[in-house]
């Protein structure tokens, strides 16, 4: 993981956007904390943030960002969840709550301004070094803060000014990420633990490593666990095992949103995945994709507990099957074959009777390749539980489903079941 710069010096006023929720306004005293760096004393600024407890739910996000104008969505968010730094409401709004077309200038310095062509104007702010040296437009920054600092446990942002000044020149923030551990290596000579995990790329998940100081590493962490990585301005990077809860996913009428029945509980409940950074959690362990594997391979009927990994506040980060993974894959293989035994291959269906389903050769070949790979994995003595979990999703994608028709093919591959059609040959 590329470590984010946690202390950034800025000669401008810094602002932050948080999401809305029903809660009281919080504040921190401008004299409650000071810090000294390179002989310069900084004082924590008074920052008022309404609606701070949590960020956007999936439903909230879909409501606000239903159109093409993300700037309007951000304005709608902050017009309800007001954010103030040193008395300035951010983004810069007029008295009636609409977006101002004027620049915000403080002490002769331009702080916020509109830029872009007609219909594409976006509010910009002068915080060019906020994220590892790259400038970010206000809309992007607002979205980042909404999901990064408004929803996740332990995340915080602090704005400081030089003593006697009222605009920020120092920012400290704590960043939370999550990771699935695929390997561990302890180096006693440097007192570090190297965590092998994955990282998202355009070409899919690839292996990567994260180094954590031994005294910041939770000794309970083992391979196969999901951990919470906290990158703190004061303490540096730490790793803590996420909360592991065993139980079963229970199918509901809303096929994409099962309920959770914890072991020893007699009632299944809804659960929330929040907006959590899962950039080091592979696809197969993430909520949506794991549930897709359960659904498409009928693993709801496979009687084995799975593990839900949670934040300390109860949000679901992801799932693993542990020792039940191999049996689940075997069950999934048998189920997939039972669903495809009468499907035939055709170019256009004109040679297939109207009571028979067909798919094209490429769809069928993709499925057969994955089915062969899954069967071989069962015979591989070196395969791990995580290997089985990963293959369950691959097989589920190749088998496919009808529930994702019309959605993005990469994120929701249709596979055989989603692509099959009845033949048109006359009887």
Q: How far apart are CA 344 and CA 427, in angstroms?
A: 17
Q: Which residues pair with 48 in a beta bridge?
A: 84
In a domain, 55, yes or no: yes
- For residue 11, give the nearest of 147, 139, 120, 109 by alpha carbon: 109
Are residue 132 and residue 222 in the same domain, yes or no? Answer: no
Which among 173, 200, 218 is the end of a domain? 173
Share of the chain above pLDDT 70, in %: 59
pLDDT band at 41 (very low <50, low <70, confident <90, very high): confident
Q: Is pLDDT larger for residue 165 or for residue 182?
A: 182
Is the same domain home to 234 and 250?
A: no
Is there a single domain that holds both residue 350 and residue 410? Answer: yes
| Per-residue confidence (pLDDT) for residue 69, from 0 to 100 | 58
Q: How confident is the model at residue 281 (pLDDT cuts 50, 70, 90)?
A: very high
Residue 264 pLDDT more than 50?
yes
The region of weakest confidence among 164-178, 212-226, 269-283, 359-373 is 164-178
Is the confidence at residue 77, as pLDDT, over 80?
A: no
Q: Which domain holds residue 274?
A: 244-422
Clarify whether residues 59 and 125 are in a common domain: yes
Distance, in Å, from the CA atom of 106 to the CA atom of 101, rounded to the nearest integer, reads 16
Q: What is the pLDDT of residue 290?
A: 95
What pLDDT was estimated at residue 11?
27
Q: Are residues 148 and 230 in the same domain?
A: no
Domain final residue pick, 140, 173, 206? 173
Number of domains in the chain: 3
Q: Which residues pair with 249 in a beta bridge?
A: 260
Say if 211 falls within a structural domain.
yes
Q: What is the mean pLDDT of residues 81-91?
A: 46
Q: Whole-angstrom Cα distance, residue 173 to residue 4?
A: 10
The tally of CA atoms less than 13 A away on the side-chain side of residue 426 is 0
- Confidence tier at 46 by pLDDT (50, 70, 90): low
How far is 342 from 203, CA to CA, in rounded Å?
34
Query: Which range, of 100-114, 299-313, 316-330, averages the lowest pLDDT?
Result: 100-114
pLDDT of 38 reads 75
Q: Return the ∠ at Cα 223 (arms to 388 and 329), rounded to 5°.
A: 10
Q: Do residue 230 and residue 186 come from a single domain? A: yes
Q: Name the least confident of 132-146, 215-229, 319-333, 403-417.
A: 132-146
Statement to judge: residues 19 and 101 lie in one domain: yes
Q: What is the pLDDT of residue 193?
A: 96
Residue 68 lies in a domain: yes
Q: Which of 58-67, 86-95, 219-228 is the least confident region?
A: 86-95
| Of 111-120, 162-171, 343-352, minimum mean pLDDT range | 111-120
When pLDDT is cut at 50, 70 and 90, the band that residue 169 belongs to is low
Please report which confidence band the pLDDT of residue 333 belongs to, taking 50, 70 and 90 as the band edges.
very high
Average pLDDT, the chain: 74
Whether 1 is covered by a domain: the verdict is no
């Amino acid at each position: 993981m590329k470590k984010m710069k946690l202390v950034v010096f800025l000669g401008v006023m810094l602002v932050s956007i948080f999401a809305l929720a029903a809660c009281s306004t919080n504040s921190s005293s401008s004299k409650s904390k000071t810090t000294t760096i390179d002989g310069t004393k900084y004082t924590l600024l008074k920052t008022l943030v309404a609606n701070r407890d949590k960020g956007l739910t999936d439903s909230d996000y879909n409501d606000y960002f239903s159109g093409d104008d993300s700037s309007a969505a951000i304005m709608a968010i902050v017009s309800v969840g007001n954010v103030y730094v040193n008395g300035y409401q951010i983004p810069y709004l007029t008295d009636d709550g609409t977006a101002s077309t004027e620049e915000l200038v403080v002490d002769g310095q331009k702080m916020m301004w509109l830029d872009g062509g007609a219909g594409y104007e976006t509010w910009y702010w002068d915080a060019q070094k906020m994220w590892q040296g790259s400038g970010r437009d206000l809309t992007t920054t607002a979205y980042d803060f909404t999901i990064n600092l408004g929803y996740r446990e332990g995340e915080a942002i602090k704005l400081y000014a030089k003593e006697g000044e009222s605009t920020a020149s120092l920012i400290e923030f704590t960043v939370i990420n999550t990771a699935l551990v695929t390997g561990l290596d302890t180096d006693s000579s440097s007192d570090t633990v190297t965590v092998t995990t994955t990282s998202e790329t355009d070409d899919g998940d690839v292996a990567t490593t994260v180094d954590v100081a031994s005294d910041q590493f939770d000794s309970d962490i083992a391979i196969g666990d999901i951990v919470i990585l906290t990158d703190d301005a004061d303490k540096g990077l730490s790793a803590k095992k996420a909360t592991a809860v065993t139980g079963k996913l229970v199918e509901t009428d809303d096929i994409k949103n099962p309920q959770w029945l914890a072991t020893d509980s007699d009632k299944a409940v809804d659960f929330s995945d929040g907006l959590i950074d899962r950039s080091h959690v592979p696809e197969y362990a993430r909520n949506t994709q794991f549930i897709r594997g359960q659904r498409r391979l009928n693993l709801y009927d496979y009687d084995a507990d799975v593990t839900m990994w949670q934040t300390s506040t109860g949000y679901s980060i992801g799932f693993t099957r542990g020792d039940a993974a191999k049996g689940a894959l075997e069950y999934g293989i048998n189920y997939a074959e039972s669903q495809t035994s009468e499907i035939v291959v055709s170019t256009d269906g004109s040679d297939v009777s109207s009571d028979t389903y067909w798919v094209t050769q490429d769809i069928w070949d993709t499925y057969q390749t994955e089915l062969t790979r899954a069967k071989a994995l069962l015979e591989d003595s070196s395969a791990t539980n995580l290997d089985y979990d990963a293959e369950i999703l691959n097989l589920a994608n190749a088998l496919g489903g009808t529930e994702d028709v019309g959605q993005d093919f990469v994120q929701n591959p249709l596979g055989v079941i989603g692509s099959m059609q009845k033949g048109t040959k006359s009887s």
